Structure 1
Amino acid sequence: MNSSVEPTAAKKVNLTVAGQAIQAREGETIIHALWQAGLGHTIQTGCVGGVCGACTVTLRFKDGRRGGTDLACLRPVEEGMEVFPFPVDALASPPPVSDPDEDKLRAAFPTVDRCTKCDSCTVACPMGIPVMDSVLRMQKGQIEAVAEDFTTCIDCGLCRAVCEDKVLPHTMGLWVRRSLGLSLDHPALDQTKERAMSDQVEQEWEHLLNCDDEERLQRAKALRKG
């Protein structure tokens, strides 16, 4: 007797993306549904793992739940879901500074005091960061706490995109983190810079670029052992 079991066909759900109706397998993400439908170009894509923040979208639901923003690479499809591409333009940040404090933050970002406490930024964040509370901490000069708040920030820009007061929350949060990083001593980095300027490194580059494959392999093995 054949004991093999036929796989159960995946349940299909219906949704629309930018007004175009498609079918998708229940449980797959919006991005995978778009690829299967040949519509991968509809939403910009990067890592497909919730890290780069490229695939920002807005959503509406058939059952009347409040829609919102999300990442298409993380959000599973649902029956009746409406998806709209919501790309967020990149924004250059002021360079980080050593020993950041309240005054330096305000000098770099005069918009920090515009916050009207609507909390839209927190609702929009796909990473669960307490964005509005962190902006209030910025106003009080609680720099270390701000850096901790934005540990999981992926720079998607959704908090900035929904802020009608142009406060630039994630830009400020990441600036704080970079500034604190710049303020630390980096002896290992200094040593790396010194080595990069040495003749030995130049010689290694010469071998890497100009020697034959077998010699390159042997040198790589020797370096690994060393």
Structure 2
Amino acid sequence: MRPINRGSCPEIDGNTVEFKSYQDARGYLIERLGPYCSYCERRVVSSLAVEHIHHKDLHKHLETEWENFLLACTNCNSTKGIKLVPEDEHFLPHKDNTYRSFVYKCGGIVEPSPDLSEPDRVKATNTINLVGLNKIVTDDLKRNPQMADRRSLERREKWELANMLKSQLLSRAKVEGTALEMFKRLVEESGMFSVWMTVFKEHKLFLKEILEVFPGTDLLCFDEEYTPIKRKNGLI
């Protein structure tokens, strides 16, 4: 899960924007974070929701507050629903280095990182359950004709794409210019930040580009070697 920094509340002509409706924040959030779900990381070209970290029905005073906004796809948003989200019991992308919390595997699987302590493993599991990142679905239309939730399938597809592209790029004596620009464009259009970071984790040239492709990635969550580090004031 990508650690993000959405920045302070937007301003117009030096005045802080006051949102009459939370939906009015969508354009600002997409400008800051890109058109990606803050939880599953998929690229969503339409119907990307302004997501309340703390549900607006439970916290009326936070309904139009910038600090309570993220972006979410339909599946993550509906799975999260009206659940309570104690911030000390979850790893959240706007405040923690969530990239350290999880591992991404072939087949679209997301699991708590094995490097976590037991208390942190519980927090990571809570986060996975919060939005249903542990839901693995089949692409067999006889068993799953509606295909209502394609998140794990998209992670699997992007995993296969990233590995195929890695093989092609690493077969070259040198990667630069047009090839690197094409790589960046493909990553940007694909979404799934953590899949790309995992597949290319041994290759600093590509890690640098991946980190810079996605708007709003908190670069302070990574050191000079692009290794994830604890986030300042975060749980991890």
Q: What band does the TM-score fall into relative to the shorter chain?
A: under 0.3
TM-score normalised over the length of structure 2: 0.25
Which is richer in helix?
1
TM-score normalised over the length of structure 1: 0.26
Structure whose alpha-carbon radius of gyration is higher: 1
Which one scores higher on RCO, CA 8 angstroms, separation ≥ 6? 2
